[in-house]
Amino acid sequence: MGVSVPDGPLEDPSAGLRRPLRVGVLVSGSGTNLQAVLDAAGADAPFGIVKVISNVPGVRALERAAAAAVPSEVVDHRRFSDRTAFEDALLSSFRAAEVDVVVLAGFMRLLTRQFLDAFPLRTLNVHPALCPAFPGVDAPGQAIAWGVAITGCTVHFVDAGTDTGPIIAQAAVPVHPEDDAARLHARIQREEHRLLPLALRWFAEGRLRVDGRRVRVLPDADDGRATEGASWPSTSTR
């Protein structure tokens, strides 16, 4: 199931947005991917983090936002009568912060068409598996249970399915015989921390082109490289 992917080619999902892009981040936990994005949002970056929202009070991600002097807020989903009211509150906060693009960095709630239609092809997620394999929770545990030799992480546009949106970039990570889910997840996270800021930079630089489910990364003006179905960084053996 998927939504918000146009029938024809989309020249540039970031077209018409200001630079540097104003990024809002949704979190639910420790915020290591948030930290990677905060670290990448330096003075020369084409994007800046302007708002962090957590649906869980007291998480480490809120401390990371405070340390970076980024405004943050708790919007606890348990305080709302339904998903519509919860997403209304998220949208109200992001609109007040003039957010252009949303990043899900360990956000453990599904978003509906209501939210996604407000940010069409402008909501990015990182998932600890090579989509479409192992969607949903505990993807590293699923990889261990299935006995695969290779897993990894995926940055993708968000649609109304579970980790089913168009793939922007992937990085492969080998599964070692001695791995348990926690050890494997730690190695996957190292790739996530590189891949998510890279994909966000591509978006902010206007280098992404979407045609249905296919995403192409245009060449960097400095090095002339282009990728399609990007798999970058390469397989990690660490």
Half-sphere exposure of 147 (CA within 13 A, CB side): 0
Query: Other CB atoms closer than 10 Å to residue 16's CB: what's the count?
Result: 7
Rounded-to-integer distance, Cα 132 and Cα 167, Å: 9
DSSP 77: G
Residue 129 CB partners (closer than 8 Å, separation 6+)? 135, 139, 140, 142, 143, 151, 152, 153, 154, 163
β-pair partners for 9: 211
Strands (E), the chain: 9-10, 21-27, 47-54, 72-74, 101-104, 123-127, 150-157, 167-174, 208-211, 214-217, 227-228, 230-231
Burial 217-236 (b: 16+ CB within 10 A, else e): beeeeeeeeebeebbeeeeb
Kindly tell me the sign of the dihedral angle through the C-alpha atoms of 34, 165, 161, 147: negative
* 127 has catalytic annotation: yes
Q: Which of 77, 127, 185, 193 is flagged as catalytic?
A: 127
Residues identified as active-site: 127
